[in-house]
A and B are shown apart, each in its own frame.
Chain A
């Protein structure tokens, strides 16, 4: 809440400064007072401070006064104080020390509630310097006689782990948690221990053998059965965690599978949808290799799923429907009789309706198509235009997947008679697709399509579809050449290139079928096309022109070959991907219809694994890649081409852990464009080039108008050109070392502009013997972690660099093994960074 955030400051919101200082002085007065009623006035003041904080005003300046006032026995006051301290401690580590005292005292209070609350706040301070004060209270918290305190402490351990993993492990907390998990009476304590241990061991498993074997041990039979046998003691959320864990357990024989399923069958009747879905996932996973039972499971889960769809809020329906859609792809027969559940109600939000339409399309088969299409036709007349469009598309999709399209074609043609522009537009696109698959229907369709006035159609896609039909069925449509002619006359007003392209082709087709009538138009369209500004249109027109010049019959063969009906339209998702998503049932993957490797960072793929400093960043594979590319740049010029193609493979096959943003749409496009930009940018920078020599060469860049940045003082520091550091060591070092230099520098506008290509920056820095280990972020904020090594010694420099491309500023934090040379390194780093983009 620290950054003041006000989108629309309303008059009721105080501007901040005056009020804060006002509160400050009042707090100061109250601090020492013992008069009766002090608590009440304190409460009012605290409330005020918190409300400022909630609104987004920075009230960190009253920190010390708040702490002074915190000596009280009133528990609400305490809670408010804890809340405040938890919020600002991270940014006032020195002041936070003040609070330690009273928090530690409260941790020994008689009241378990206060002990618990104090311990929780102590753990949420999240100040690395203060971890030493945390270990004692946490340790006694884990042994407390009150379940409430143990519950808080068991979660506290994982908080401590995130502040300082080594302290947590050294104090032997994981082992204590494990003991509690297996022996505590209180179910909530057990659940919290499980939650914490999963997170700690997953993160530790990267570095420690022991931790990874402990993590394995969580999935051993005794532990799994221990949890399963008392699953009803746990609250609903803990049950979700346990079910998720059990789904990773592989039972050795089928008897065990049946035991587990019998034990958990009633979870399908639970009021909490999250539990129902977790159970379903478990059942499906368990029976994957038992075809018959798998089918029975489908039958069993059908009713609970349908109940979930209809009973909950629209948001819950949405999440359940996404899963249903996945299931129906694998077992289409499953819901084919329950199709009425997917009928849309008028009041439902669009996101639910859209998924329901997808379900209706997916469950349609010979027996229910008629009714489903009838229902969809109702929606086409809907007041809600997006809904009407989607339902027409759904009718089209059903038509394309059915063998008997007789009735559907009639319905589609009726849409054309409704005389509503958006309906007509959508329908035209569908009729076009339909004709490509079922050319035998051309007669009926063309009769209706011929009646449509092209003037009423504005949408490019629809226009293109109509033009395509005019060309394809020119012999059946009486006035096709004349309609085309009128369209060509308006060539100048047509802003969609797609329409112009179709127009070119259709006129060509028409010409081959009815040459005398079309000759004029053809001339006009080719002239217009060749003069067109759009490259594709221009090229195609020129191509047709030359083709006709060359040989008319060859041209006919090219433009108008005999076509085969399309039997199957390319499915958007491969079955492999569907399987992957299925494995990730009950996860975000299902909602996005992408397996998680396509949208989450590798870092995050573990259950709850993310590490403190690298929260937003991607390391691991990506850093290997940059390291690899750094070697590659040093390779001789001859090999460059070869290496880039290798890199292309690599980028594609890694499936982009490099993108920390969830690029779930058009993901491959970005990858491809990234590759392209890599290909381009590989040429200029060679590692040995000093940055300044090339600054004058690039005449085309705008850089000339701006003075080159003043030459920095000659760096005396020599850096190792090929330092080696793996991400884990980096992380460890980053945690251990103190910040030795922290400053803000400006970057030249050219540098910021060139940031669009992160790879080139990284390569530029490599040219200065500074290696990037992790990068991430999205415009305008980029974050980088760099490192470098002295040439003679092994001493390392670590840099965190946050660049804001709007303000052209970079925040540097440098940590060094040898702090005496960190200033010199900072100069080197700055000169390297500021020369970026100008070279």
Chain B
């Protein structure tokens, strides 16, 4: 079981330390870890991000688990055998809860609110054994440092962020929900959020295309409602993962999601749909190099109109190290070359009258005739109102609720790891 959790800043400084057992873990382990991480980045001479040490490593005295979120390293130590994924999942959950509570995650936020962080960790793990990580329950025990709370404390002089009641859920048979919830307006929102991962080769053919989706629910319902969500075409789902509230039998027999929701925002289900045949847009890069210069031309356009506007289109690529200078222009949108040699072309929406294109020339290192490496173009976009996988929500049935609730449905598709090779 875990013996200690450290939070490290992006310069390796210990922001926070939480000892979990009687076996105190000395802070020097952090210095060891940081040197290890730096040495690794050094040997590869590449940005730290891509060459972080593996999430599970052995130091001379402890086994270390670490995850990095928003440049904060969450480091946990143990000396006993334990399921590695359990430690990593737990750290992920800690990071999620903290960034939820603090409305973001950075060194200053943690330092300003470290009492809350300690309180949270206290409830999340005891003696190295994870307890509650359910955000809804935690929120009942420890109120987030909201602006309202700060206002109240100024007015009333009472700035306790502790709620006075213990979470009722610990006694209820549905651990994710308290028994006596009351909302003035009963509302429930269901969002389909999809991310498209794709690899497109230099001939423009799809090497791989998959969609990872989530059904996100925001429930503001009183009492003890029982919901059933059905899909029009559940057969397209390749694999699914459920929130603990979902009952398995109804899903097995007729693919209905039957559940008593937690209060507030939560992830009801994640799913995976593979072997998609179409992408909404195309990106065609062309590179040709000769006599020390490389000419580049990138065309972007709509391939399969999804029926809604494709927004926030952006194409990004890393200039190879052997390029000395680049002169790039576009007929639409803006082109920026960042300090780390990333070229970022923000297009936004595709105009009706022309196809956006980026062109220009890049000067190669002296002595180099041709460009030997081929940059990879990472594409991002967002389409509101459409789930590109074609998954359809058929119906949401709510039982056990006195008043008629308001039901809202939305869908959005974003580019995930969407890359085009050149």
Interface set of A (CB-CB < 8 Å, partner B): 1, 3, 5, 7-8, 10, 37, 40, 43, 47, 50-51, 54, 56, 74-76, 79-80, 83, 87, 90, 111-113, 117, 120, 126, 146-148, 151-152, 155, 158-159, 162-163, 185-188, 192, 195, 232-233, 235-237, 240-241, 244, 265-266, 269-274, 277-278, 303-304, 306-307, 310-316, 318-320, 322, 340, 343, 345-351, 375, 378, 381-386, 418-420, 584, 586-592, 596, 599-601, 604-605, 607-610, 612, 615-616, 660-662, 664, 778
A–B Cβ pairs within 8 angstroms, 7 of them: A271-B244, A346-B376, A349-B51, A383-B318, A383-B320, A607-B81, A662-B58
Give, as a whole number of angstroms, the nearest-CB distance from A636 to chain B: 39
Known: A240-B86, A319-B55. A306 touches B239 (CB 8 A): yes
Residue pair A311, B241 in contact (C-beta under 8 Å) = yes
Give, as a whole number of angstroms, the nearest-CB distance from B305 to chain A: 26
Flag B89-114 by CB within 8 Å of A: 1 or 0 each.
Answer: 11110000000000000000001001
Residue pair A7, B13 in contact (C-beta under 8 Å) = yes
Distance, CA A236 to CA B50, complexed state (A): 31
Q: Which residues of A contact B19 (CB under 8 A)?
A: 1, 87
- Residue in A closest to B165 when the chains form the complex, CB atoms: A113
Q: Which residues of B contact A235 (CB under 8 A)?
A: 131-134, 175
Q: Which residues of B contact A340 (CB under 8 A)?
A: 207-208
Residue pair B58, A615 in contact (C-beta under 8 Å) = no
Is B171 an interface residue, CB under 8 A from the partner?
Answer: yes
Give, as a whole number of angstroms, the nearest-CB distance from A13 to chain B: 9
Distance, CA A3 to CA B19, complexed state (A): 13
Residue pair B164, A351 in contact (C-beta under 8 Å) = no
> Which listed residue (B114, B201, B208, B243) contacts A271, Cβ 8 A?
B243
Residue pair A351, B53 in contact (C-beta under 8 Å) = yes
Q: How many residues of B contact A (CB 8 A)?
A: 108
Residue pair A616, B88 in contact (C-beta under 8 Å) = no
Distance, CA A303 to CA B51, complexed state (A): 29
Flag B64-82 by CB within 8 Å of A: 1 or 0 each.
Answer: 0011000000000001111
Residue pair B378, A346 in contact (C-beta under 8 Å) = yes
Q: Which residues of A contact B59 (CB under 8 A)?
A: 662
Distance, CA A681 to CA B267, complexed state (A): 64
Give, as a whole number of angstroms, the nearest-CB distance from A91 to chain B: 10
Is B122 an interface residue, CB under 8 A from the partner?
Answer: yes
Q: Which residues of B contact A83 (CB under 8 A)?
A: 118, 122
Is B307 an interface residue, CB under 8 A from the partner?
Answer: no
Q: Which residues of A contact B373 (CB under 8 A)?
A: 381-383, 420
Distance, CA A167 to CA B201, complexed state (A): 68
Distance, CA A800 to CA B146, complexed state (A): 51
Q: Which residues of B contact A592 (CB under 8 A)?
A: 56, 58
Residue pair A159, B22 in contact (C-beta under 8 Å) = yes
Flag B180-214 by CB within 8 Å of A: 1 or 0 each.
Answer: 00000000000000000101010000011010100
Q: Which residues of B contact A155 (CB under 8 A)?
A: 126-127, 129
Which residues 288-333 of B sit at the A interface, judged by CB distance below 8 A? 318, 320-321
> Which listed residue (B26, B50, B82, B134) contacts A350, Cβ 8 A?
B50
Q: Which residues of B contact A662 (CB under 8 A)?
A: 58-60, 63
Residue pair B239, A307 in contact (C-beta under 8 Å) = yes
Q: Which residues of A contact B92 (CB under 8 A)?
A: 312-313, 315-316
Q: Which residues of A contact B80 (CB under 8 A)?
A: 600, 604, 607-610
Ranked nearest first, the 5 interchain pairs of A and B with the lowest CB-CB distance are A266-B248, A237-B130, A662-B58, A274-B86, A315-B55
Is B232 an interface residue, CB under 8 A from the partner?
Answer: no
> Which listed residue (B44, B114, B376) contacts A51, Cβ 8 A?
B114
10 additional contacts, CB 8 Å, given A76-B159, A349-B51, A612-B22?
A: A54-B17, A113-B141, A188-B132, A235-B175, A315-B91, A340-B208, A420-B373, A604-B80, A608-B128, A660-B61
Dominant secondary structure at the B interface: mixed
Interface set of B (CB-CB < 8 Å, partner A): 1, 11-17, 19, 21-24, 26-28, 30-31, 34, 44, 46, 49-56, 58-61, 63, 66-67, 79-86, 88-92, 111, 114-115, 118-119, 122, 126-134, 141, 157, 159-162, 164, 166, 170-171, 173, 175, 197, 199, 201, 207-208, 210, 212, 238-244, 248, 251-252, 267, 270, 272, 318, 320-321, 372-376, 378, 417, 419, 421
Residue pair B321, A232 in contact (C-beta under 8 Å) = no
Residue pair A269, B248 in contact (C-beta under 8 Å) = yes
Residue pair B23, A79 in contact (C-beta under 8 Å) = no
Give, as a whole number of angstroms, the nearest-CB distance from B318 to chain A: 6
> Which listed residue (A76, A588, A605) contacts B162, Cβ 8 A?
A76
Give, as a whole number of angstroms, the nearest-CB distance from B103 to chain A: 20
Known: A345-B419, A588-B56. A3 touches B27 (CB 8 A): yes
Q: Which residues of B contact A266 (CB under 8 A)?
A: 242, 248, 252
Give, as a whole number of angstroms, the nearest-CB distance from A395 to chain B: 17
Q: Which residues of B contact A346 (CB under 8 A)?
A: 376, 378, 417, 419
Residue pair B50, A384 in contact (C-beta under 8 Å) = yes
Q: Which residues of B contact A75 (CB under 8 A)?
A: 160, 162
Distance, CA A384 to CA B267, complexed state (A): 35
Q: Which residues of A contact B51 (CB under 8 A)?
A: 349-350, 386
Q: Which residues of A contact B126 (CB under 8 A)?
A: 120, 152, 155, 192
Distance, CA A559 to CA B129, complexed state (A): 62
Residue pair A349, B84 in contact (C-beta under 8 Å) = no
Q: Which residues of B contact A350 (CB under 8 A)?
A: 44, 50-52
Give, as a whole number of angstroms, the nearest-CB distance from B96 to chain A: 10
Q: Which residues of B contact A778 (CB under 8 A)?
A: 60-61
Known: A162-B22, A274-B85, A386-B51. A236 touches B79 (CB 8 A): no
- Residue in B closest to A281 when the chains form the complex, CB atoms: B83
Distance, CA A187 to CA B92, complexed state (A): 24
Q: Which residues of A contact B82 (CB under 8 A)?
A: 587-588, 608
Known: A37-B157, A587-B84, A664-B58. A316 touches B89 (CB 8 A): yes
Distance, CA A8 to CA B30, complexed state (A): 13
Q: Which residues of B contact A185 (CB under 8 A)?
A: 171
Residue pair B79, A615 in contact (C-beta under 8 Å) = yes
- Residue in B closest to A272 when the chains form the complex, CB atoms: B89
Known: A7-B31, A311-B270, A350-B51. A304 touches B15 (CB 8 A): no
Residue pair A3, B26 in contact (C-beta under 8 Å) = yes
Residue pair B114, A54 in contact (C-beta under 8 Å) = yes
Q: Which residues of B contact A605 (CB under 8 A)?
A: 81
Q: Which residues of A contact B160 (CB under 8 A)?
A: 74-76
Distance, CA A349 to CA B51, complexed state (A): 6
Residue pair B88, A343 in contact (C-beta under 8 Å) = no
Q: Which residues of B contact A47 (CB under 8 A)?
A: 115
Residue pair A1, B17 in contact (C-beta under 8 Å) = yes
> Which listed residue (A80, A316, A385) contacts B85, Cβ 8 A?
A316
Residue pair A590, B52 in contact (C-beta under 8 Å) = no
Residue pair A310, B173 in contact (C-beta under 8 Å) = no
- Residue in A closest to B47 when the chains form the complex, CB atoms: A384
Known: A51-B114, A54-B114, A587-B81. A5 touches B28 (CB 8 A): yes
Residue pair A383, B321 in contact (C-beta under 8 Å) = yes
Residue pair B374, A40 in contact (C-beta under 8 Å) = no
Q: Which residues of A contact B164 (CB under 8 A)?
A: 111, 113
Residue pair B376, A5 in contact (C-beta under 8 Å) = no
Give, as a whole number of angstroms, the nearest-CB distance from B413 to chain A: 16
- Residue in A closest to B209 when the chains form the complex, CB atoms: A340
Residue pair A315, B88 in contact (C-beta under 8 Å) = yes
Q: Which residues of B contact A278 (CB under 8 A)?
A: 83, 86
Residue pair A307, B272 in contact (C-beta under 8 Å) = yes
> Which listed residue (A51, A120, A418) contacts B111, Cβ 8 A?
A51
- Residue in B closest to A83 when the chains form the complex, CB atoms: B118
Residue pair B60, A661 in contact (C-beta under 8 Å) = yes
Q: Which residues of B contact A589 (CB under 8 A)?
A: 81
- Residue in A closest to B118 when the chains form the complex, CB atoms: A83
Give, as a whole number of angstroms, the nearest-CB distance from B133 to chain A: 7
Give, as a whole number of angstroms, the nearest-CB distance from B35 to chain A: 10
Residue pair A604, B83 in contact (C-beta under 8 Å) = no
- Residue in B closest to A302 when the chains form the complex, CB atoms: B239
Q: Which residues of A contact B159 (CB under 8 A)?
A: 40, 43, 76
- Residue in B closest to A147 when the chains form the complex, CB atoms: B170
Give, as a whole number of angstroms, the nearest-CB distance from A403 to chain B: 26
